[in-house]
């Protein structure tokens, strides 16, 4: 009788432990979300009052100081980075998925893996060494190159993974119709995997849109509207860093406004990525 009771109390204890553990897991898992909500809430609260039309259409030097130069600069630098990295990235992803198992692909893929792990500040140092030091001048194009290097591995990986998911029968259907290799790839394989490729592209843009470290000594930043990509250019993240560390309450306010806009933009890109994945998905 006591032995039986002993066993059942042991089982109860074990069940109790199991329940306790579950509670612990839920507690910890959900407390991850708290800082995120806290940050979102704080930035919206601090930045919302700053978002006015004049804030968005003037640069820093105007009487009613704004951040237009940083918004446009961010756009320009990211667009140039995309122009460089998207074609190279997609073609490289195609190369990996079409040449699985070769020795060369292995080394090249390893290079991309390494590239993915390189800290953003080191990428900045590289662009600095290649394009800023030789010309004795920070330039927007150096910033674009740095961001492009950071975008490459993301685009390559997502392209490769997407294309690897496509069945071989699709390729064979193309070849059997007498299509040459490039048409099989560009007209059959890529259109079928377009959702994955696009979402990789969007993801890479979202990832670099908020990068500051590689721009500190490449695009450097400036105080007025500039369209010359061989000259320094301001970007949103750089502007936030500049204003946030100055300590002047007036510019601190502008930093919150800029932070809200940057956050909004990055979140929008992320949501857009999710939507693309759903909308363009080809039913196989």
Partner 1 sequence: MNSSIDNPLITRSENLERVINYNAKSEVSVKTKNSIKRSHRQIKTEVVFRRTLSVIGWLMIALVIGILLTLIWQSMPSIKKYGFSYVWTQVWNPTASVVNPEVFGALPFLFGTLLTSFLALLISIPFSLAVAIFLGEYYPEGWFSNLLMNTVELIASIPSVIYGFWGLAVIIPILGKSIMTSSLILAVMIIPYAASLGRSMIRMVPANLKEAAYSLGSTRYEVIRSVIIPYVKSGLFAGVLLSLGRALGETMAVTMVIGNNNSFPKSIFSTGNTLASMIALELPEATDDTHISALVELGLILFVVTVVINLIGRKIISRYSNV
Partner 2 sequence: MESTIIKSVGYNAYFGDNHVVKNVNMEIARNKAIAVMGPSGCGKTTFLRGINRMHELIPGATANGQILLDGEDVLEMHPIFVRLKIGMVFQRPNPFPNLSIYDNVIAGYLLNGIKLPKSEKDIIVEKSLTKVALWNEVKDSLVKKGSFLSGGQQQRLCIARAVAMEPEVLLFDEPTSALDPISTSTVEDLFHELKRNYTLIIVTHNMQQAARVSDLTAFFYMGELVEYDDTKVMFTNPKDTRTQNYITGRFS
Binding partner 1 by CB under 8 A: which of 53, 101, 117, 279?
Answer: 117
Part of the chain binding partner 1 (CB under 8 A), chosen from 55-63, 65-73, 116-124, 165-173? 116-124
Q: Is 282 in the site for partner 2 (CB under 8 A)?
A: yes
Residues near 220 by beta carbon (within 8 Å), at least 6 away in sequence: 138, 143, 232, 233, 238
Binding to partner 1 (CB under 8 A): which residues in 37-56? 38-39, 42-43, 46
What span, in angstroms and rounded, lies between the C-alpha atoms of 263 and 47? 10
Smallest distance from partner 2 to CB 16, Å: 52
Binding partner 2 by CB under 8 A: which of 180, 247, 249, 250?
Answer: 180
Part of the chain binding partner 2 (CB under 8 A), chosen from 75-83, 183-191, 216-224, 251-259? 183-191
3-class SS string, the chain = CHHHHHHHHHHHHHHHHHHHHHHHHHHHHHHCHHHHHHHHHHHHHHHHCCCCHHHHHCCCCCCCCCCHHHHHHHHHHHHHHHHHHHHHHHHHHHHHHHCCCCHHHHHHHHHHHHHHHCCHHHHHHHHHHHHHCCCCCCCHHHHHHHHHHHHHHHHHHHHHHHHHHCCHHHHHHHHHCCCCHHHHHHHHHHHHCHHHHHHHHHHHHHHHHCCCHHHCCCCCCCCCCCCCCCCCCCCHHHHHHHHHCCCCHHHHHHHHHHHHHHHHHHHHHHHHHHHHHHHCCCCC
* Count of Cβ atoms closer than 10 Å to residue 49 Cβ: 11
Binding partner 2 by CB under 8 A: which of 188, 219, 240, 262?
Answer: 188
Smallest distance from partner 2 to CB 104, Å: 13
- Pick 49 or 169: Cβ nearer partner 2: 169
Binding partner 1 by CB under 8 A: which of 44, 56, 65, 121?
Answer: 121
Q: Is 196 in the site for partner 2 (CB under 8 A)?
A: no
What span, in angstroms and rounded, lies between the C-alpha atoms of 231 and 222? 9
- Pick 57 or 186: Cβ nearer partner 1: 186
Binding to partner 2 (CB under 8 A): which residues in 21-80? none
Binding partner 1 by CB under 8 A: which of 2, 3, 5, 36?
Answer: 36
What span, in angstroms and rounded, lies between the C-alpha atoms of 206 and 271? 10
Q: Is 191 in the site for partner 2 (CB under 8 A)?
A: yes
Size of the site for partner 1 (CB under 8 A): 88
Binding partner 1 by CB under 8 A: which of 78, 95, 143, 174?
Answer: 95
Site string for partner 1, 186-225 (x = CB under 8 A): --------------------xx-xxxxx--xx--x-----
- Pick 1 or 32: Cβ nearer partner 1: 32
Q: Where do contacts with partner 2 occur on this chain (CB under 8 A)?
A: 100-102, 167, 169-180, 183, 187-188, 191-192, 194, 282-284
């Amino acid at each position: 009788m006591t032995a039986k009771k002993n066993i059942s109390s042991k089982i109860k204890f074990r069940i109790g432990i199991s329940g306790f553990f579950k509670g612990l897991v839920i507690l910890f898992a959900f407390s991850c979300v708290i800082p995120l909500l806290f940050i979102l809430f704080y930035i919206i609260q601090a930045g919302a009052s700053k978002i006015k039309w004049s804030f968005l259409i003037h640069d820093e030097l105007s009487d009613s100081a704004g951040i237009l130069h940083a918004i446009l600069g961010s756009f320009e630098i990211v667009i140039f980075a995309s122009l460089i990295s998207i074609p190279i990235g997609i073609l490289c992803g195609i190369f990996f998925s079409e040449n699985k198992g070769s020795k060369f692909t292995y080394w090249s893929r390893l290079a991309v893996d390494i590239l993915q792990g390189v800290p953003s500040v080191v990428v900045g140092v590289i662009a600095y060494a290649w394009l800023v030091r030789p010309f004795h001048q920070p330039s927007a194009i150096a910033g674009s190159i740095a961001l492009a290097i950071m975008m490459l591995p993301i685009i390559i990986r997502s392209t490769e993974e997407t294309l690897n998911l496509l069945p071989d029968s699709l390729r064979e259907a193309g070849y059997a119709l007498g299509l040459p290799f490039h048409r099989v790839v560009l007209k059959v394989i890529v259109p079928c995997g377009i959702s994955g490729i696009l979402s990789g592209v969007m993801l890479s843009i979202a990832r670099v849109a908020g990068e500051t470290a590689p721009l500190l000594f490449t695009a450097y930043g400036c105080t007025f509207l500039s369209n010359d990509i061989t000259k320094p250019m301001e970007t949103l993240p750089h502007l936030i860093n500049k204003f946030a560390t100055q300590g002047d309450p007036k510019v601190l306010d502008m930093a919150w406004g800029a932070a809200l806009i940057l956050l909004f933009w990055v979140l929008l890109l992320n949501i857009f990525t999710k939507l693309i994945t759903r909308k363009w998905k080809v039913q196989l």
